[in-house]
Homo-oligomer: A and B are copies of this chain.
Amino acid sequence: MSLRLKVSKVSNESLQNQIFEQVRTMILEETLKAGEPLPSTRMMSEQLGISRNTMTLAYERLEAEGYVDMRKSVGTFVALQVPGVATFTPAGEPPNVDDDGSAPCERIALRSDELKSQALVNASLRRLTADFWPGRPDPNSFPLKMWARLIANCLRSAGAALTEYRDPLGVRELRQAIVDHLRPTRGIMVDAEQVIIVGGSQGGLNLACRLLVTLGSSAFVESPCYQGAAYLFESFGAKLHPVHVDDNGIDVSKLPATQNAICYVTPSHQFPLGVTLSLDRRLELLAWATRTNSYIIEDDYDSDIRYRGAPIAALKALDRCERVIYVGTFSKSMGAGLRIGYVVMPATLFDAARHIKTLTNNGQPWLPQAALADFITNGSYDRHLRRIRHSYQARRETLLAALQKHFGGSTIVGDNAGMHLVWRMPDQLPPANVVEKIALKAGVGVYTLNSGGAVDFGVMRDSDRYLVLGFTAPSEREISIGISRLAAALRSGQSAGKAPRASL
């Protein structure tokens, strides 16, 4: 007797494993019946042209796992008691879930076809000469030398920090450095015990959802709103209620007296529109939360990046009734690759938050936290912020000048802050999604509100007039080239009758 096995010596997989897998499958599918003798290792090794030792090792593993019996000087046999073979489902047979496609979905918090998630990576980046994708720090701005030195120092003094579990709330020194930074810059007076280190602001939003959002919860969000928040709330089964945003931020007067709701806001620099929530609305919003026993999630994603005046204090700085969950991140100021954000939790939610954070992932990696703590405490972070504010402001002005030069009197929405701006295109230009396509053909990345990371809920009157332009990653030169190419593309688009005249 012999076995029909196919082995490849060039496969990544060892010969021993190839043999093991194939024989095991024959046994489980009962091509080889219980008690049936197997060819000798000698015969098989000759047949397959492999070393006898390899063949023996494969048989020994089959025996170790109970598939075969090796009887000394008698031979190798399919085990009599390979149990449960009958219940084994061969690969061919389609899994149950296909018989009843809906079944698994019922058990997913939402039907998976309803799940959406935020766009993070610009798929067409490679094809672009100039890309205005928002929220991307200048890669060259990253303080690589200092960072490498701090990382190396941390590693030298790591001790058991790499091998053992630590406080899931985060590295103590980093939590202290953060509160020392929040006090003067954001007016938030808390101590390190109230801070939880998370995986970017998204990790903070997720933590808030685990505490506050269950199926049917009411979530009031800005319209337009950051995708990563809106889609996350939906994934937890929340009902989304978009609330109009004007020049003073979210229109708090539109919030109904719904009890036990959440309200998600970006008060310092609304995403995407860039407006600041006015003081009176901040106070009204806090009063609403207190009245309705609701919680406010304050996403302060880019408040470290302002070009004029002191930033207005955070909503959390006014929070006397423990209604505000404050979410901050280093993804914009340092880089998203670090995946370091933080949450300031109301005392009333803190114990639950500590449990949920532990259950979610046992805390964040130690090394980047430790290095960042040193980076902030040795003053490098403040220096870094001054540097990037300076260069980002120059890029912003270059962008404004280019828009002025090529498109004349066009409008910028929002404050002199952040890493992107929203451009209200002149009325004679085609709709934003058309402009986005024309630009892409010309190797320039400009984005509608939706493709730029926002949800406009289709309720915004003139959303097709707006483009999101991130100006921090491209150089000043790329910015000028990008905008002039955009103008040229729109002109030729028009001359080819594809789009109306661009004002020049």
Which A residues have a C-beta under 8 Å from some C-beta of B? 12-14, 17, 20-21, 24, 28, 61, 64-67, 82-85, 87-91, 93, 95-98, 100, 103-104, 106-109, 112, 115-118, 120-121, 136-139, 141-142, 144, 147-148, 151-152, 155-156, 158-168, 180, 183-184, 187, 189, 198-200, 202-203, 206, 210-215, 217, 228, 231-232, 235, 259-260, 278-284, 286-287, 290-291, 293, 295, 309-310, 312-313, 318, 320-323, 331, 334-340, 348-349, 351-352, 354-356, 358-368, 473
Contacts and interface: CB of A to CB of B under 8 A. Distances in A.
A344 B409 CA distance: 54
- Oligomer: number of copies: 2
Nearest to A159: B139
A147 B139 contact: no
Contacts of A89: 286-287, 290, 320-321
Contact of A162 (B83, B85, B106, B142): B142
A281 to B, nearest CB: 8
Contacts of A17: 183-184, 187
Contacts of A359: 117-118, 202, 206, 228, 231-232, 235
Given A155-B151, A260-B103, A279 B65 contact: yes
Contacts of A215: 214-215
Q: Which 10 A-B pairs have the closest CB atoms?
A: A83-B280, A84-B283, A199-B361, A112-B352, A87-B287, A163-B335, A95-B321, A117-B358, A120-B165, A162-B337
A379 to B, nearest CB: 14
A167 B368 CA distance: 19
B115 A355 contact: yes
A84 B280 contact: yes
A312 to B, nearest CB: 5
Given A202-B360, A365-B338, A367-B367, A164 B136 contact: yes
Nearest to A17: B184
Nearest to A336: B165
A318 to B, nearest CB: 8
A117 B364 contact: no
A163 B189 contact: no
Nearest to A103: B293
Contacts of A165: 120-121, 331, 336-337
A187 B21 contact: yes
A303 to B, nearest CB: 14
A85 B141 CA distance: 42
Given A89-B287, A96-B321, A159-B139, A361 B200 contact: yes
A338 B162 contact: yes
Given A64-B310, A137-B163, A336 B362 contact: yes
9 contacts: A83-B284, A84-B282, A84-B283, A109-B214, A117-B168, A117-B356, A139-B164, A151-B367, A235-B359
